[in-house]
Structure 1
Amino acid sequence: MNHSKQTFVTAFALFSLFFGAGNLILPPFLGYNGGESWLWVTLGFSVSAVVIPILAIYGYARLQGTMLDFAKKVSPWFAILYAVLVYAISVSLPSPRTASVTYEMAIQPYFEISSLWTSSLYFALVLLFVLNRTKIISLIGKFLTPLIILILLAIIGIGIFSDIEPIRASIFDNSFTSGILEGYQTFDAIGGVVVGGVIVISLALQGTYNYEEKKSMIAKSGLWAGIGLFCIYGGLIALGAFKSGTLQVENRTELLTLLSTTTLGSIGTAFLGVLVALACFTTAVGIVTGTSDFVKGIAGNSQFAYRITAVLGCLLGVAVGQFDVHYIIDIAVPALMFIYPITIVLILLNALPERFASPVVFKGVTLVTLLFSIPDFLQFVISETAVTQIKSWIPLAEHSLGWVLPALAIFLIINFFHKTSKVSIKS
């Protein structure tokens, strides 16, 4: 396959691996609640659900390694701990959530079948794809993603270009930061460090491209996937906002179902079912494959370890997938508040030139980010009142972004002293 064709196939695969359950059900409800401020929530959502994940892909294009390479500048033990935590969260929450969303939106309305049977069949198919991982990019990029995009464009296009109803006012105190935090729930930053490794390994297994060729293809495919994600997210958010004055809904899945029905009529629910199943399935494949790759790597490149991890990841998906979608979203919040800021700073540091991201910078910024993320984590584990006084002293903490300014300050201070010391030595 020539480079241009491989780049676009990889871009389609990346889009599909990112675009899962949360990416489908979160944006319309965000636009619905954002109302007149839908542009601001789109920008905020795009920061955490598009820009950061695509920077992760760019980082992988440079490193062409595993998640351990992403965090190794902090320390080897931290890299292992971070990777284990990320993969554990991924197979325990976003992966099972894809099965739960598929059941609630694509199976339950049409068939009298239990969620256990649905999840079992669903993850059996996931396992089949994972065990045939050399074909993942081709199967997803060539066949599944184009169908997903066509259905999405039909729903968005018809909805946006129909009569726009009165748009209600935003319910958010700060629409931009609300968009950023809602983007956490897509798991896309975590997805970036998981599926980025899948893409690197999948291309390496083909054995036909050198380092520079793979770097170029991964970076370009990440850019195209990011543009696609931004357009789809913006369209879904706008669609939710444009219908916010007339529709009365209580949850995310209900809104998405209504939007598909009002845009595509009775056939819209059938299309939505296909869309949900495809979008969720490809994400689950990416997560289980990435986790299996990681365990295989630390187990001495053992194919047996890869297979066992794939099976266990799918069994866990069946078990957790029995829970309600909204329950899974709620229990994910504390984990996201803890791991997401660390993931974001690691992605940003890996995307920067080496001269600005020395091991000392990695250590300092990561440590400060970890410390200032603890109040946000405790807010959901203990209670908000217990950490109110602490958060009152931290800038942006009221928006659950208290780690941002301290991390930026440490980054600038360390680089300043590093540059100053170099000048002193030269003089």
Structure 2
Amino acid sequence: MSQNKELFITAFALFSMFFGAGNLLLPPLLGYQATDEWYWVTLGFMITAVVIPIFGILAHARLQGSMFDFGKKVSPVFSTLFCIVIYVIAVAIPSPRTAAATHEISIFPNFGTDALLTSSVYFALVLVFALNRSKVLNFIGKFLTPLIVLILLTIIGIGLFMPHKEVATSIIEGFPLFAGLLEGYQTFDAIGAVVIGGVIIISLNLKGHSSYEEKKKLIAKSGWIAGFGLFAMYAGLILLGSYFSGEIEVDMSQTNDMKRATLLRGISLATLGNIGTAFLSVLVALACFTTAVGITTGTADYFKGLFKNSQQVYNNTAIFACILGVVIGQLDFHYIIIIAVPVLKFIYPITIVLIFLNVVPQKYATPLVFQAVVGITFIFGVFDAINFFYPENSFLINFRETIPLGMYDFGWVLPAFVTFLVIGLMPKKS
């Protein structure tokens, strides 16, 4: 296989494993609510849903190990616990969420079948792909991703160039940039990066790649290509939401997931007519499926590595992940999102700082820097997670108001950055 062909297959596979349920459903409603301030929410969304995840892939390109390598400078025990937590979250929330989204948008409106049947067939197919993992990269990169991109580009292209009414007034409270940042959290893409990056590395190893530098260049370049693709799709979907804000009526009293689905159906119908519903169904199903395959494969790979590369452990983990997906995938998409929020508030900041520390030059990222920055981030992440359950607590309110960006759930950013500067950079300067 030529180098260019392999580069694009790898990049397409990365894009497809990133682009799941949330990536498709979240941006249009964000643009719909931001209207003429769409560029601010786009900027925020890109930071948490594109830039940080691609940095995660670049970190994988440097480390070329497993997710364990991301946190081993903190301590081996911490890194093991971090990996287990991430993989449990991955198979318990984002993976079942893809089945729930597929059922609610693609299957139920067309066939009216039960959620149990959808999730059972869905994860049976995921399991088939996971058990044939050596073929995963090629099949997703060659066939599934081009189809996803073609349908998306058709909807976005027609939607942007057709005539539109004047956009409505923005209904986002506060600075739109922070709304975009927080919505980008919901894509799970930073967590996805540390899971999916491992899948890419093992897939390349299985295809016979042994050179560290060769793999580093291939992974890094494919990461940038995938990132550009994600940027284009997100910006297009957000802009579509803004353009249609004066034309499509969305009941704002509905749950967020219902609003997102209603808007996306409306856009598909407006751009492609009656056939738009069929295209949307295929698009959602494919986007969700490739993400579920990536998560299941990555999780099984990790536990296989923990047990001396036992293929039986790999198979058992994949089967367990799919059974869990069937059980949780029957839940309403809205409830899965609610479960995800406090978990994200706690684990996402830690994941982000680990990605950042593994990308910066190693001379600035000593074990002491890792331990200090992750420790500070952990403390502030705990406060954000607790606040989700006790939003009226006076101590938490005062604490969050005192810390810069605290009321936006980014109270950890400045303390983590200052800690990095003081411990990582100041001694070097002196």
Amino acid at match of 1:239: L
Amino acid at match of 1:342: I
Amino acid at match of 1:356: Y
What corresponds to 2:169 in structure 1? 169
What corresponds to 1:236 in structure 2? 237
Greater CA drift, 161-170 or 326-335 = 161-170
Query: 2:416 and 2:209 mapped to 1: Cα distance?
Result: 41
Amino acid at match of 1:75: S
**Paired residues for 1:243-392 under 5 Å:** 243-250=244-251, 251-386=259-394, 387-392=396-401
**Paired residues for 1:12-411 under 5 Å:** 12-172=12-172, 173-250=174-251, 251-386=259-394, 387-411=396-420
Query: 1:336 and 1:385 mapped to 2: Cα distance?
Result: 20
Amino acid at match of 1:27: P
Q: Deviations over 1:20-59 (max 9, x none)?
A: 0000000001111111110010010000000000000000
Tell me by how many angstroms 1:5 deviates: 1.2
Query: 1:343 and 1:146 mapped to 2: Cα distance?
Result: 30
CA contact (8 A) 1:37 1:169 kept: no
Tell me by how many angstroms 1:121 deviates: 0.4
Query: 1:384 and 1:232 mapped to 2: Cα distance?
Result: 38
Q: Deviations over 1:330-377 (max 9, x none)?
A: 221000000111111110111111111111111111111111122211
Tell me by how many angstroms 1:381 deviates: 2.3
Query: 1:235 and 1:384 mapped to 2: Cα distance?
Result: 38
SS in 1 for 2:110: coil
Amino acid at match of 2:248: L
Greater CA drift, 182-191 or 243-252 = 243-252
SS in 2 for 1:110: helix
Q: 2:423 aligns with which of 410, 414, 420?
A: 414
Query: 2:391 and 2:380 mapped to 1: Cα distance?
Result: 17
Name the count of aligned residue pairs. Answer: 421
Amino acid at match of 1:54: I
> Structure 2, unaligned stretches of length 5 or more?
252-258
Tell me by how many angstroms 1:164 deviates: 2.4
Q: Deviations over 1:209-231 (max 9, x none)?
A: 41111110000000000000000
Amino acid at match of 2:273: G
Query: 2:60 and 2:142 mapped to 1: Cα distance?
Result: 22
Query: 1:382 and 1:302 mapped to 2: Cα distance?
Result: 44
Greater CA drift, 135-144 or 247-256 = 247-256
Query: 1:278 and 1:304 mapped to 2: Cα distance?
Result: 28
Using a 3 Å threshold, how does the CA distance of structure 1 residues 417 and 246 change in structure 2: closer, same or farther? Answer: same
CA contact (8 A) 2:364 2:425 kept: no
Task: Quote the RMSD (CA, aligned, Å).
Answer: 1.0
* Percent identity between the two aligned chains: 57
Greater CA drift, 257-266 or 166-175 = 166-175
CA contact (8 A) 2:27 2:238 kept: yes
Tell me by how many angstroms 1:417 deviates: 4.0
Query: 2:425 and 2:360 mapped to 1: Cα distance?
Result: 16
> Structure 1, unaligned stretches of length 5 or more?
none
CA contact (8 A) 2:391 2:397 kept: no
SS in 2 for 1:109: helix
Tell me by how many angstroms 1:384 deviates: 4.0
Query: 2:159 and 2:231 mapped to 1: Cα distance?
Result: 17
CA contact (8 A) 2:209 2:215 kept: no
SS in 2 for 1:166: coil
CA contact (8 A) 2:58 2:359 kept: yes
Query: 2:133 and 2:399 mapped to 1: Cα distance?
Result: 47
Query: 1:92 and 1:415 mapped to 2: Cα distance?
Result: 36
Amino acid at match of 1:220: K
Query: 2:428 and 2:312 mapped to 1: Cα distance?
Result: 48
CA contact (8 A) 2:349 2:377 kept: yes
Query: 1:348 and 1:18 mapped to 2: Cα distance?
Result: 19
What corresponds to 2:255 in structure 1? none
Query: 1:138 and 1:280 mapped to 2: Cα distance?
Result: 18
TM-score with structure 1 setting the length: 0.97
What corresponds to 2:254 in structure 1? none
Tell me by how many angstroms 1:283 deviates: 0.1
Greater CA drift, 381-390 or 42-51 = 381-390
TM-score with structure 2 setting the length: 0.96
